[in-house]
Amino acid sequence: MSQLSLDFEKIDNSHSEFIIFHDADLSLIESLQLPTIIRFHRADKFDSKFVQTSNDVWNFSYSGKKLHLNFSNFSTSEKKLAKFFLANYIQVNTPSALEAKLQAYTFTIKSLKTRNLKLDYQNAKSVLVDLAKADNSTYYYHFKFLVKLLFLENFSCFDLDQEYELEFLERPQAFNSKLYYQQYEDSIDYPLISMIQQGFIKLNQAIKDDFQGINKQTLLYSSILGLVYVTGLRPVQLAKLSAEDIKIDTTRTIDQFHRYSILIPYAKQARYVHEKIAIKLPEEVAKIIITYIERYNLNLKDKLFDLGENSACFCSKVINTQLFDFAPETYKEAVLSGEMIKQKYSFSDFRHHVGYSLAMAGSSAEEIAYILGHSSVVTARHYIFSTPELAQIRAQALGKNSLYRQMIAMLLTGRLVYKKDWQQKKVLGNIGSKIHYDIGGCSYEDKCLFQPVRNCYGCMYFHPFIDANHSNVLESIQNEINDLIRLSDGIGVSRNPLIRVHESTKFEIESVIARCETHKGDIYEF
């Protein structure tokens, strides 16, 4: 494959009639659902509030810049995909980088046409490799976002089993602070984690209240999502599981509390034969799987999941269907009405998240390789080398808002109330040497085992007071983050997992503050 030219203006236009899409992809592009209007939900009063997707020219102002995006030179299919690409990006980011995104897209299209190459994974991978070697090329990260999208939308010649390779491709060497997670992007972020966890908690409660009322599909889909979320299992590993691989390790006689584990097979075998490895399962996930086994009347030797002829496609469908089921109602309504595009994730996103989380927790390459079922430590070392250093963690702690994250954040706590209207128990606790009270109420009836205040902002039983001073709590957490960073700098620890725990708490508090401000402004919550 010939080397790419990054001289945008000198790319030959003589091949403009060449169609870069496979026939199946042309039909797929035509079927893509594009919102009529894309709203800029973080827009300031002087910013444009939306763009109309039907227009071939998008003119809008944002953050003091006037932007002009012209789609008129694209073919019909190229234009539709370009708009879908940008619409997906806007949903989780601000529109500031749209111009650069479109430039990267245009560059890639022209480059493929110049060499009469189809848009498939092998050619896309070659483009990424070339872009990684270019000096200060931001096109790499913009195009990589598109490639990820093509996998998730099941474009032909973008096999989901290969999607995991994206995180292991060569990256540009030069640091650019404008790039989001240059070294590594963990798609499974705090709001999504909280949404999944609370989804499992609510489903367990529903099972307890009305066992027969939960349909089989929900049990199947949530079981698969739970295993992928906890263990990072590949579809091929899920297909090898049997009902007897779910184990009750110990039982506490006083209250019948169980500890669970799952025996998982290696996906790939080296020269030595590995026994199945045991991974601890959280109780809320294990109980769903056991309920699923009971409802499907599976025997111990029975295959746990029937994943059909294409396990990767089936798992992708399952994961995103169940995530959508766990999502806030307002978000689901927006997607179903065509106002938003459904946010999608792949099983490799969860696999990378498990590896990344283990690395942040200080696990060795050997431990990560063992958990993920790798026959060597080469891949596992990637997670260790890719976890952010303190400088990046410091920048990450500043936070990043978007409509999608704001909506998911609504699941973190209960309804907003005023102090005067709350008659049940109130939250009281300290962070460091500072006591915080009158911040919200607690509707949990049993004895809570978690630390008050610190753990409340991510709890669905916590009802934040609209008229409380949550900023004081945020200040206390930020001070702790600053202290942890100083301590880590002082002792030379580049990856301190405690910082990320505090970042999660900070996000939860910020989300509550944003909700309260929205309510005070007499604007409906998302």
For residue range 96-129, what is the model confidence (pLDDT) as tens digits?
888 999 999 999 999 999 999 999 999 999 999 8
In a domain, 184, yes or no: no
What DSSP string runs through 9-60? GGS--TTTT---S-HHHHHHHHH----SEEE-TT--TTS--EEETT-SEEEE
CA distances from 84 to 62, 155, 166, 181 (A): 20, 14, 21, 23
pLDDT at residue 391 greater than cutoff 90: no
Q: Do 357 and 188 form a contact (C-beta atoms < 8 A)?
A: no
pLDDT at residue 224 greater than cutoff 60: yes
Contacts 24+ apart (CB under 8 A), 35-38: 35/87, 35/338, 35/339, 35/340, 35/341, 36/338, 37/339, 38/86, 38/87, 38/90
CATH classification at residue 355: 1.10.443.10
Lowest mean pLDDT, pick from 50-64, 273-287, 510-524: 510-524
pLDDT at residue 478 greater than cutoff 50: yes
Edge-first strand order for the sheet with 246-252 is 246-252, 257-264, 277-281
In a domain, 272, yes or no: yes
- Identify whether residues 232 and 335 lie together within a single domain: yes
Q: Is 518 exposed, middle or buried (0-12, 13-18, 19+ CB in 10 A)?
A: middle
pLDDT on residue 24: 93
Q: Do 146 and 11 form a contact (C-beta atoms < 8 A)?
A: no
Q: Do 224 and 315 form a contact (C-beta atoms < 8 A)?
A: yes
- Of 247, 278, 245, nearest in space to 371 by CA: 278
Q: Do 444 and 424 form a contact (C-beta atoms < 8 A)?
A: no
Average pLDDT of the chain, as a whole number: 80
- Identify whether residues 366 and 226 lie together within a single domain: yes
Helix, strand or coil, per DSSP, at residue 393: helix
Asked which of 386, 416, 436 is the last residue of a domain, the reply is: 386
Cα–Cα distance between 428 and 437 in angstroms, integer?
Answer: 5
pLDDT digits (tens, 9 = 90+) for 159-214: 988 888 887 788 787 544 443 334 455 678 777 888 888 889 889 888 888 777 78
Dihedral, CA of residue 425, residue 429, residue 435 and residue 438, to nearest 10: -20
pLDDT on residue 189: 76
- Identify whether residues 396 and 493 lie together within a single domain: yes
Cα–Cα distance between 333 and 113 in angstroms, integer?
Answer: 39
Average pLDDT over residues 433-441: 92
- Identify whether residues 229 and 262 lie together within a single domain: yes
pLDDT at residue 322 greater than cutoff 90: yes
- Identify whether residues 474 and 505 lie together within a single domain: yes
Cα–Cα distance between 82 and 66 in angstroms, integer?
Answer: 20
Q: Do 319 and 252 form a contact (C-beta atoms < 8 A)?
A: no
In a domain, 19, yes or no: yes
Structural domain boundaries, residue 18: 8-168
Asked which of 135, 168, 201 is the last residue of a domain, the reply is: 168
What DSSP string runs through 275-299? PPEEEEE-HHHHHHHHHHHHHTT--
Half-sphere exposure of 336 (CA within 13 A, CB side): 10
pLDDT on residue 9: 43
- Identify whether residues 115 and 231 lie together within a single domain: no
pLDDT digits (tens, 9 = 90+) for 503-524: 778 878 888 887 888 777 544 4
Q: Which residue has the higher pLDDT, 457 or 381?
A: 457
State the pLDDT confidence band at 267, using cuts at 50, 70 and 90: low
In a domain, 264, yes or no: yes
pLDDT digits (tens, 9 = 90+) for 333-359: 888 888 888 889 998 889 888 877 777
pLDDT at residue 361 greater than cutoff 60: yes
- Of 348, 390, 354, nearest in space to 369 by CA: 354
- What the block records as the tokens of 237 is 């590993």
Q: How far is CA 251 from the centre of its chain?
A: 34
- Identify whether residues 366 and 432 lie together within a single domain: no
- Identify whether residues 247 and 164 lie together within a single domain: no
- Of 323, 347, 91, 89, nearest in space to 192 by CA: 323
In a domain, 177, yes or no: no
Q: Is 502 exposed, middle or buried (0-12, 13-18, 19+ CB in 10 A)?
A: buried
In a domain, 2, yes or no: no
- Identify whether residues 268 and 287 lie together within a single domain: yes
- Identify whether residues 216 and 145 lie together within a single domain: no
Sign (positive or negative) of CA dihedral 75, 78, 82, 88: positive
- Identify whether residues 18 and 127 lie together within a single domain: yes
Q: Do 157 and 121 form a contact (C-beta atoms < 8 A)?
A: yes
- Identify whether residues 349 and 464 lie together within a single domain: no
CA distances from 73 to 69, 113, 150, 373 (A): 11, 14, 22, 48
Q: Is 388 exposed, middle or buried (0-12, 13-18, 19+ CB in 10 A)?
A: buried
DSSP annotation of 340 reads: S
Asked which of 137, 168, 199 is the last residue of a domain, the reply is: 168
In a domain, 199, yes or no: yes
Q: What is the pTM of this model?
A: 0.73
pLDDT on residue 355: 79
Tell me how many domains the chain contains: 3
In a domain, 182, yes or no: no
